[in-house]
Amino acid sequence: MEGKDPAKIIKDGLSKTLVFYHPLAGRFIEGPNKKLMVNCNGEGIMFIEGDASVELEKLGESINHHVHILIYYFTMFLVLMES
């Protein structure tokens, strides 16, 4: 994975995966009688990439636990994408 952009890998993986989950590829709209509906317009989900210049240790123990879980799931995601 050296030299690869993690955000691009996640974005590409989501774009390939979400094709099979049509409600996630559209937008919520209000239909007749205020009924909540999904407009399957193919616009996809909003993807936001961010960077931070901070060491995880400085965020405290409560956030570190969640970050380690995210790192685990991200690693599993990468393994699945490469297989």
Domain carrying residue 67: 6-47+55-82
Let me know if residue 33 belongs to a domain: yes
Let me know if residue 1 belongs to a domain: no
Let me know if residue 23 belongs to a domain: yes
Let me know if residue 13 belongs to a domain: yes
Strand locations in 1-83 (E): 27-30, 36-39
Count of the separate structural domains present in the chain: 1
Q: What is the pLDDT of residues 54-82, one digit of tens each?
A: 776 777 776 767 777 777 777 776 676 66
Please give the model's pTM, rounded to 2 decimal places. 0.45
